[in-house]
Structure 1
Amino acid sequence: MNLLLIHQNFPGQFRQLAPYLEQQGHELVAICSHKRPVALRGAVMRYSEPQKADGLPLGTQLWHEGLQRAAAVARLCDQLQRQGWRPDRILAHSGWGETLAVAELWPDVPQILWPELWVTPEHGGHGHDPAMSAPGLEEQLQQLGRNCLTRAALDQASAWVLPTRHQANSLPPRYQTPRLHVIHEGIDTALASPNPGVSYQVRGLTITRDTPTITFVNRNLERLRGFDLFMRALPRILQQHPSVRVLIVGDNDSGYGGVHASGRPLRQVLLEELAGQLDLERIHFLGRIPHPQLIGLLQASWVHVYLSYPFVLGWSLLEAMACGCCVVGSTGMPVQEVIRNGVEGVLVPMTDPQLLAQAVLGCLADGRRREQFGRAARQASLAWDQTVTLPQLAALVANPLA
């Protein structure tokens, strides 16, 4: 089949699926808006990022940019059509409006969309984060444009895919139909796997499985992912465990939950708040790191901390589980979809740094307990392996109307 993949940040959700489909003999063409190299045998077509509409409300901005993306993608599709290429299926993320005009060219081509999440104020922390007010009209209006783009895209689609049941449950009832499929993109549990011989360097120090380490991994260090709670737990952890090392992965951008009220990076705010309470020689901020380095970090970790208010499930948690990490996570969704408290890890509320510190210290002190949680987490992660999920996704591509 000819398959058209559309994602402004391609490959995005198609990181594993695109090469798998190519290996099956399908011809792929991708459309994106970035200029980075892409590992794809097929053609990669690119459009320019839309002009920003500064000063407009968020919902209006998203529509303004989304319609520009839709027009740009449609013109590239028209170019493909004039070259004699026609897709049998269209696979796309629905969040940026890119597919909205494709049906003008190919109204009978099935579209399979990845909406990822139907965003509500709670997904920014409202109603859960005690530092934020209960969601009001303004917070709801902020999400209106994004969800209207998703609605318009889904109304043209033959099927839509959500990676977790939590994310699927966010969709309104009108989209809770047989066209909804809960299939994760999949992780590589052969790559992300326990490795007793792992070794790497941090600040000239060699980290192995014999080095007591705590890991914390986010795309950005933000409140939505519990970075503030984690940092406030560290003074007690570092004081009571004098040799533990803390390895933190993530950028200092605003992230999904927005900027700090001061406008400064949250890391800077917390380091000032906790000045004099932290042994900074044992805390290592690594920024973003290459994926192989991340896997090594997780393989050596004694305790991996993953915290989140209700939002999408990060791949890093599943990969940590696959590496056999002892996970201390947060209660509620999305973590509880993959970890049961006392079985695959320990779960604590997103409200008390002392409870978090206590849970982490308890795991650091009990090697048998760490191994028990790590084995159970590894076993649970196998259900999310790409050898399970990719054939399911390929079957959906073959027959989206089943």
Structure 2
Amino acid sequence: MRILLIHQNYPGQFRQLIPLLLKDGHELRAICAHERPLPDDVPVQRYKGPDISGLANASIAAPGLDYWADGLARAPQVAQCAEQWRREGWTPDLILGHSGWGETLLLNQVWPQSPCVIWPELWVKPQHAGIELPPEGPGPTLQQLADHSARNYLTRAALASASAWVMPTRYQAESLPAEFRDMRLHVIHEGINCDVACPREDVEYHVRGIRVNRSVPTITFVNRNLECLRGFDVFMRALPTVLHKHKNVRILIVGDNGVGYAGHGFANDVPLKQRMLSELEGQLDLDRIHFLGRIPYPSLLALLQASWVHVYLTKPFILGWSLLEAMACGCALVGSEGMPVSEVLTHRHNALLVPAADSSALAASILDLLSNSSLRLQLGRQARQDSLAWDQSVMWPRFQSLFQELLNSQKSRSS
């Protein structure tokens, strides 16, 4: 089967699927917008990402306009890449794309017979941007509502020309309006490799000058970016108590200082990490807290394999791969109550769960696990067992079935 992958940050969501697609003998091609080096096992066309900075000075300013302008600028560039391959005689049997940047909007004009599977990820609601709803918070502004509407209408436009869409969790699937929760919706996670992400008692490694093994009491925290949406502020406020009551524990924190998923700018142009260090000045033993930034995947797995307690916090949003990988590595987990975490973690079954904003409860649960080796072992073993339900060996046959179903349906319509 010929399959086209489209993601401005390729491989993106398809990172887990590409080796399996290649192993099955499919011919892959891809379109993306970045200039980073990529393996040469998949031919890639690159387009130049649009520059919409001029909209800030436009005489007409409309909420959400920048999001649509970006999407509508990307769509024809992707279509031009597709048209080049069409002229060369290459037509995909199947197109896989993300809905978030408008890249797939014109592909049905180039290849009207090729089924397209979309990854929408989430139908954006205020809580997905970390906005507290009444009575706990003020709720979204009109500007924020307009921005969310713009994102969702771009998703709607992508779905309108798609044959099917994939959501990785039930929580994300249920964020879609009812009109999109029909036979075209398939809840399939991309899957993790539980043979690679697995417990390892003899793990020992050095990262950024820090030597770590299973003998060192270690707390781990992993985000793409250190942000409030993923509970970094709550985690930091728990550390003074943890460090004071446990004199040997080390804290290993993975994540950049970028804006993050919620999309808010930095308060007073100061990243959250610096704001938390300022707020907690004098309360932290900084010799035992290690900010590692982004690290290579093998180092991340080693960090999880050595972890005594792994903390995963989030407000309602997409489920991070790092949580499933931590489970697969047999981590003793402390997670936040509520979705999406509660879809995979159950209190005192495979983790301890705490209210998402409660730093005191978080500190108490971390200390409970640090002092109770039998509970750590029990929760870690169960987390490992439960992670197997998310393994690629479980998920990949579901993708194979979906792809074949779409191909058969297209052949039936063409005959």
* TM-score class normalised by the smaller sequence: over 0.9
Question: Following TM superposition, by how much is the alpha carbon of 1:209 offset from its aligned partner in structure 2, in angstroms?
Answer: 0.6
Question: How far apart, CA to CA, are the structure 2 residues paired with 1:77 and 1:395?
Answer: 26
For 1:319-334, list aligned pairs within 5 A. Answer: 319-334=325-340
The answer to whether the Cα contact below 8 Å between 1:237 and 1:357 also exists between their aligned partners in 2 is yes
Name 1:26's counterpart in structure 2.
26
- Post-superposition offset of 1:43: 1.4
Matches within 5 A, 1:275-294: 275-294=281-300
- Matches of 1:210 and 1:386 in 2, distance apart? 31
Q: CA deviation at 1:66?
A: 0.6
Question: Do structure 1's residue 243 and structure 2's residue 248 form an aligned pair?
Answer: yes
Q: CA deviation at 1:312?
A: 0.4
Correspondence for 1:310 among 302, 306, 316:
316
Note if 1:175 corresponds to 2:180. Answer: yes
Per the TM alignment, residue 132 of structure 1 is displaced from its structure 2 partner at its CA by 5.3
Does residue 1:362 correspond to 2:368, yes or no? yes
Measured against aligned partners, the alpha-carbon deviations of 1:257-286 in whole angstroms (never above 9, x if no partner) come to: 223432210000010110000000000000
Give the 3-state SS of the residue equivalent to 2:64 in structure 1: helix
Q: Which residue of 2 aligns with 1:113?
A: 118
- The residue identity in structure 1 corresponding to 2:140 is P
The one-letter amino acid paired with 1:64 is A
Label 1:376 to 1:128 Cα distance change in 2 as closer, same or farther (>3 A). Answer: farther
- Any residues of structure 2 matched to 1:391-402 within 5 Å, and which? 391-400=397-406
Residue 253 of structure 2 contacts residue 290 of structure 2 at CA under 8 Å; is this kept in 1? yes
- Residue 345, structure 1, aligned to residue 347, structure 2: no
Q: 2:52 matched to 1:81?
A: no
Q: How does 1:138-287 map onto structure 2 within 5 Å?
A: 138-202=143-207, 204-257=209-262, 258-287=264-293
The residue matched to 1:399 in structure 2 has which SS? Answer: helix
1:384 aligns with 2:390: yes
Q: Is the 1:21–1:394 Cα contact (8 Å) retained in structure 2?
A: no
Deviations 1:201-244 (A, max 9, x none): 25644311110000000000000000000000000000000000
* Identity value in percent: 55
One-letter code aligned to 2:93: D
Q: Does 1:301 align with 2:300?
A: no
Q: Is the 8 A contact 2:208 2:292 kept in 1?
A: no
Q: Does 1:71 align with 2:66?
A: no
Determine if contact 1:125/1:132 at 8 Å carries over to the other structure.
Answer: no
Shift of 1:398: 1.7
Q: Does the 8 Å contact 2:207/2:299 carry over to 1?
A: no
Distance 1:367 1:21, change over 3 A: same
The question of whether the paired residues in 1 share the 8 Å contact of 2:63 and 2:143 is answered with no
DSSP-derived class of the 2:352 partner: strand
CA contact (8 A) 2:220 2:253 kept: yes
Q: Please report how far the alpha carbon of residue 75 of structure 1 lies from its aligned counterpart in structure 2 after TM superposition.
A: 0.6
Contact kept? 1:129, 1:309, Cα under 8 Å: no
- Contact 1:57–1:142 under 8 Å retained in 2: no
**Number of aligned residues:** 402
Query: Is the 8 Å Cα contact of residues 128 and 309 (structure 1) preserved in structure 2?
Result: no
- Alignment match, 1:3: 3
Whether 2:342 is the aligned partner of 1:336: answer yes
> Deviation at 1:57?
4.8
* Residue pair 1:233, 1:357 contacting (<8 A) in 2 also: yes
Deviates more, 1:342-351 or 1:135-144: 135-144
Unaligned runs of 5+ in 1: none
Shift in CA distance, 218/87, structure 1 to aligned 2, threshold 3 Å? same
Task: Select 1:62's aligned residue among 52, 63, 67.
Answer: 67
* TM-aligned CA distance change 1:58 to 1:46, over 3 Å: farther
TM-score (norm 1): 0.97
Residue in 1 aligned with 2:37?
37
Supply the distance in 2 between the matched residues of 1:138 and 1:39 (Cα, whole angstroms): 41
8 Å contact kept, 2:231–2:357 = no
Larger deviation: 283-292 or 382-391?
A: 382-391
1:33-92 superposed Cα distances (whole Å, 9 cap, x missing partner):
111122252311110011224425552111111111100011111101110111111110
Is the contact made by 1:321 and 1:381 (CA closer than 8 Å) also made in structure 2? yes
CA displacement at 1:333 relative to structure 2: 0.7
Separation in 1 of the partners of 2:267 and 2:273?
A: 13
Unaligned runs of 5+ in 2: 410-415
CA distance in 2, matches of 1:37, 1:157: 30
CA contact 2:133–2:140 (8 Å) conserved in 1 = no
Q: Alpha-carbon deviations, 1:135-170, whole Å to 9, x = none?
A: 243221111111111100101111000000010011
CA contact (8 A) 2:5 2:28 kept: yes
Deviation at 1:21, TM superposition (A): 1.1
The separation in 2 between residues aligned to 1:144 and 1:275, in whole angstroms, is 40
Distance 1:76 1:255 in 2: 30
Q: Is the Cα contact below 8 Å between 1:304 and 1:325 reproduced in 2?
A: yes
* SS, match of residue 287 in structure 2: helix
Partners in 2 of 1:308 and 1:111 — Cα distance?
Answer: 31
Change (3 A) 1:228 1:173: same
What is the CA–CA distance in structure 1 between the aligned matches of 2:63 and 2:175, rounded to whole Å?
Answer: 20
